[in-house]
Amino acid sequence: MQHFAPVFTFVQGGWDVDHYTARSVAGEMMTRDQQLLRYYWRRLGLGQKVLAETPEHDRQRVYFARGYLNDRVILQRLIEKTGEPICHGAVDCIAPPTTTCITTEHSSCPGHIYSCYLCVSLGEASTLE
């Protein structure tokens, strides 16, 4: 029995399911990394919907209990593996980097300019929060 990963196409505002196959929309075979990227983008999209429907006081528990943090970290590593730039402000940030950290050494999104995890030492990290 052969298993196929769902194929997603990027539409304005996110990923969308086309059909279930191991081929891309253009017809060529997808690599395993491409299949994993599409899978985790889909899980992240579904997770965002679940969190939006969850009461405010329960969101953090649901976020950790359902593994959404792990999905975001895995997705960030997959994005990095494909050669795309990633935000180094938080280990689970998947926002596209548009600037650099305060030391101008690493890519960062605007929300993490001062919290680059590659620049902040462990002693400094404990005082940030």
pTM: 0.65
What average pLDDT score do residues 58-81 get? 87
What is the domain extent for residue 107?
Answer: 85-129
What's the pLDDT band for 15 if we cut at 50, 70, 90?
very low
* 53 shares its domain with 100: no
d(CA 39, CA 45): 10
Higher confidence at residue 129 or residue 113?
113
Higher-scoring residue by pLDDT: 103, 12: 103
Note whether 15 and 68 are same-domain residues. yes
Residue 36 has pLDDT above 80, yes or no: yes
Strand 107-108 vs strand 99-100: parallel, antiparallel, or unpaired? antiparallel
What total of structural domains would you count in the chain? Answer: 2
Q: Are residues 65 and 8 in the same domain?
A: yes
Residues 25 and 77 in one domain: yes
Using H for helix, E for strand and C for coil, what is the string for 8-29? EEEECCEEEEEEECCECCCCCE
67 and 4 in a common domain = yes
Do 108 and 126 have their domain in common?
yes
**Residue 39 and residue 72 in one domain:** yes
Is the confidence at residue 112, as pLDDT, over 80? Answer: yes
Give phi and psi for 93, each to the nearest 5. -80, 125
